[in-house]
Structure 1
Amino acid sequence: MELMKMKICIFGAGAIGGFAASYLSRAGHEISLVSRGANLKAFQNTGLTLNHAGETSTVHPIATDNPADIGQVDIVFVTVKGPALTDVGAYIEPLLGDETQVVFAMNGIPWWYDIVIGRGQVTSGKLLDRGGQLQRTVGIGRTIGCVVDCPAAVSSPGFVICKRETKGKFTIGTPRSINNPGVDIISGILEDAQMLAPVSSNIEREIWAKLIVNLSRSPLAVLTGVDEMELAKHSETTEITREMVNEAALVARSHGIQLSLNWDQLLNIEYRSEHRSSMLQDWDFQRPMEIDSIIKIVSLFGKEAGIKTPTIDRILALLTIKARQVGLYH
């Protein structure tokens, strides 16, 4: 059965947003991009170009820095970095109709995390949705979590590159206390557009599993300035990684999330590439980094649960100092 063509907005069309927008546009959906700066200018002048595994294609979606220019859509994919969530809360409302679904395809712990699981605390909301704008404007009922496995990068304004030959993978799921049939529709749309989109019955576990990978690479990459493969060459850095991962796994367990740790995949050089992690790419371009959602939140959750996270805390302190020195963290 042919899927209905949708009006889809990509809010924050960087590497991941651009990758998804390219495939969704070529599948026939009406795509719009909310972007800014040099990327926006490139989208408006020459379109969005994706080079995936050596094959290049260009699409020409609507592109603006003002969601009011787009109006209500069927689906919003929020693919901004964590520090830009405040802008999402402030500007997303014109895109939202009564039936609009909002997919948050972002790294780290999401803003809605402990609002949903009912732990009696709202640490994620206080840290990641300061002021509660997203909870008020988007709400939990239309929210869909998404964990992305797609090593894409913006090589120049309007140009996204992904060297890995496999399909981009977008694992989606509803916050576990919410029944939302829209998740199956969105999975079908992504699959029809030649992406992988499995539906998880426990998206929180998927989020923690990806967070473990981010922790094993991103903070140390920023502190050292080297790619994932170089980090794996040194026993000193892999030992720090092992300590951070073990601490995070204990914190996850306190939330009822049992993680199966594959140390070969986490530490061995055979499973690494010369990819510069998302956080390191942000440092390279002097953009605010996802410190709060990837590492600080784990430290805070640990303190709540009475779990010591000494290595995470030390790396967090160093990362915070480095970012503050150049005005990238407040």
Structure 2
Amino acid sequence: MKVAVLGAGAIGAYVGASLSRAGADVHLVARGPHLAALRERGVQVRSPRGDFAAHPNATDDPAEIGPVDHVFLGFKANAYAAAGPMVAPLLHERTTIIAAQNGIPWWYFHELAGPYEGHRIESVDPGGAVTRALPLHRALGCVVYAATEIESPGVVRHLEGTRFSIGEPDMSISARCTEFADAMVAGGLKCPVERDLRCDIWIKLMGNIAFNPLSALTRATMAGICRHAGTRALVAQMMEETLEVAHRLGCRPEISVEKRLAGAERTGEHKTSTLQDLERGRPMELDVLLTAVVELADLTGAEVPTLRAITAVADLLNQQVAAAS
């Protein structure tokens, strides 16, 4: 099995190293000092589950790799629309594209039976640009329950979690899903193939949609947001509104708001990826986390006043970040 990892950062390099030690033919696409370190020393993983090293091929040019069986996307969803030229050299007739993204994916309504089948979500796939770059028939969903960070170039610190749930948009248990999952498991990861991955998407999104923008607006950690009575109540309201949208789309995640809050609080003094982006002066990944759910509320007639208010102020902050960069 041949795999290319585009965006071999913290998550991408961790997945690539795990697949490589399982015997897959892995190619990492990275740049800068991180790429130089990957070429020289491979991926060095530091983990409470045991350190290990792997030496997959590393390059900054996907054309050097050629067609692969699976493309794993390790960069953020706001870069997908421009990914076409990087992805194109990697494709053969049956290549899959596995997007390890947070939030609502561009393929959400692809092959989803019901009144919205085939609907394009503008905030996620503006003008169809993401679909053109990442064809729908190649998409496999992936929900990441692992936390990693780049400790130094070429060195990945695995903090917690090893689960990468995957699934087909049409809710089948396909051979291509099973092939990738088996390789992930052989590499020491958990990779359940879910029939209804969309419920996993909503469960994770319940946290992201609230904590990510609020952390950027307040500069607080997840535990800090939970400890403050006012923001804790705000998070709960945002989660309730998010669940209402999910229910109207036919998905009923089996988790309560209080349980989701408790899980977030246990994470401790953790800075969300959105807050980290803000601190580094990078555009924040808000469209797939927040704007998309407001758009889906409009589609389904759900009332989401809190989500609308947070979207407005977070979007203004994002515009200011972009103007300053």
Give the whole-Å Cα distance in 1 for the aligned partners of 2:73 and 2:20.
16
> Aligned pair in 2 of structure 1 residues 135, 86: CA closer, same or farther (>3 Å)?
closer
- Superposition pairs of residues 177-192 of structure 1, within 5 angstroms: 180-192=174-186
155, 162, 178: which one aligns with 1:159: 155
| Structure 1 position 123, deviation (Å) | 3.7
* Residue identity opposite 2:139 in structure 1: T
How much does 1:285 deviate? 2.5
Q: TM-score, normalised by structure 1?
A: 0.90
| Pair 1:241–1:91, CA change in 2 (3 A) | same
What corresponds to 1:129 in structure 2? 125
Q: 1:329 to 1:219 in 2, by over 3 A?
A: farther
Distance 2:49 2:255 in 1: 33
Q: Which moved more, 1:296-305 or 1:30-39?
A: 30-39
Which residue is 1:252 aligned to?
A: 246
How far has the Cα of 1:270 moved from its partner? 5.3
**Residues 45-84 of structure 1 correspond to what in structure 2 (within 5 A)?**
45-53=40-48, 55-84=50-79
Q: Answer yes or no: is 1:12 the counterpart of 2:14.
A: no
Residue 216 of structure 1 and its aligned partner are, at CA, apart by: 3.4
The letter of the residue matching 1:37 is G
Distance across 2 between alignment mates of 1:69 and 1:329 = 36
2:298 is aligned with 1:323: no
The alpha-carbon deviation at position 274 of structure 1 amounts to: 2.3
Aligned ranges 1:1-330 → 2 under 5 Å? 6-53=1-48, 55-117=50-112, 119=116, 122-124=119-121, 126-136=122-132, 138-164=134-160, 166=161, 168-176=162-170, 180-268=174-262, 271-327=266-322
Q: Which digits, 9 at most, give the CA deviation of each residue in 1:138-172, with x for residues without a partner? A: 423321101110011223333221222x5x10101
Indicate the residue corresponding to 1:3 in structure 2: none
Residues 11 and 80 of structure 1 are in contact (CA less than 8 Å); yes or no, is this contact kept in structure 2? yes
Q: Mean alpha-carbon deviation: is it higher for 197-206 or for 80-89?
A: 80-89
RMSD, matched Cα: 2.3
The verdict on how the C-alpha distance between 1:270 and 1:242 changes in structure 2, with shifts beyond 3 A counting, is: closer
Q: How far apart are residue 99 of structure 1 and its match? A: 2.1
- Secondary structure at 1:155 match in 2: strand
Amino acid at match of 1:94: P
Q: Residues 172 and 90 from structure 1, CA distance in 2 versus in 1: closer, same or farther, beyond 3 angstroms?
A: same
| C-alpha distance in structure 2 between counterparts of 1:144 and 1:228, whole Å | 29
Secondary structure of the 1:145 match is strand
Shift of 1:283: 2.1
How far is the alpha carbon of 1:323 from its aligned partner? 1.6
Per the alignment, do residues 177 and 136 of structure 1 end up closer, same or farther by CA in structure 2, a change over 3 Å counting? farther
Unaligned runs of 5+ in 1: 1-5
Aligned sequence identity (%) = 32
Cα deviation for residue 199 of structure 1 reads 1.0
Cα drift, residue 31 of structure 1 = 1.1
Give the Å deviation of 1:321.
Answer: 1.2
| 1:98–1:137 Cα change, 3 Å | farther
